[in-house]
């Protein structure tokens, strides 16, 4: 079912893997902020890393894992669909946890719209992934399109979140240097 989609999924998987590597570089460069005053706004037990940086890594990892699942030579579509559905369910659960953690934070300048790329949009993406997995299990024609939409959305969400984290690191390094 995915023969004509192979290049698309390989490109998305490669992009996600590359962006994971770049995210580690950004985190390494901004590691001093974890101990700075800029990160002290989080309540005890809710590190800034868990609410902003880890979800970005999870988004890219979700893209990478979904592309690997789709590209693997499964014996049946039902097995691939089951793993994709479980992946989508795990991503949806994680998005709800991130939303819960964001609501607990008392971060200066954090608005309701900041919750969209870290929790809301990933939840939508994972719901679409679950729908695509369901379609795959029942050989529906929309399945590859739904899975591709979910992966693409999650990739762009990860890029947006990585940009936000990078911008936050740069801005707060300038504040800490003053």
User: What are the domain boundaries of the chain?
Assistant: 16-28+44-168
Q: Read off the pLDDT of residues 28-87 as tens digits, 9 standing for 90 and up.
A: 876 665 555 445 555 555 566 667 788 999 999 999 999 999 999 999 999 999 999 999
What's the burial of 80, exposed, middle or buried (CB within 10 Å: 0-12/13-18/19+)? buried
pLDDT at 108 over 60: no
pTM to 2 decimals?
A: 0.86
Q: What is the DSSP letter of 39?
A: G
pLDDT at 91 over 90: yes
pLDDT at 104 over 90: no
Tokens of 43: 């309540």
For residue 56, what are the contacts with CB-CB under 8 A and spacing of at least 6?
23, 158, 161, 162, 165
């Amino acid at each position: 079912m995915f023969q004509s989609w192979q290049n698309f999924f390989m490109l998305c998987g490669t992009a996600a893997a590359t962006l994971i590597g770049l995210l580690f570089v950004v985190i390494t460069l901004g590691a001093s902020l974890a101990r700075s005053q800029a990160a002290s706004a989080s309540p005890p037990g809710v590190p800034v890393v868990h609410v902003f940086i880890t979800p970005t890594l999870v988004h890219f990892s979700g893209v990478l894992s979904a592309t690997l699942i789709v590209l693997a030579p499964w014996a049946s579509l039902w097995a691939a669909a089951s793993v994709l559905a479980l992946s989508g369910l795990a991503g949806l659960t994680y998005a709800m946890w991130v939303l819960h953690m964001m609501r607990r934070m008392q971060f200066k300048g954090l608005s309701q719209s900041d919750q969209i790329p870290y929790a809301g949009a990933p939840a939508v993406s994972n719901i679409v992934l679950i729908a695509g997995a369901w379609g795959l299990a029942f050989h529906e024609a929309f399945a590859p399109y739904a899975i591709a939409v979910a992966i693409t959305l999650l990739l762009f969400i990860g890029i947006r979140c990585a940009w936000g984290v990078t911008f936050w690191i740069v801005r707060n390094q300038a504040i800490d240097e003053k």
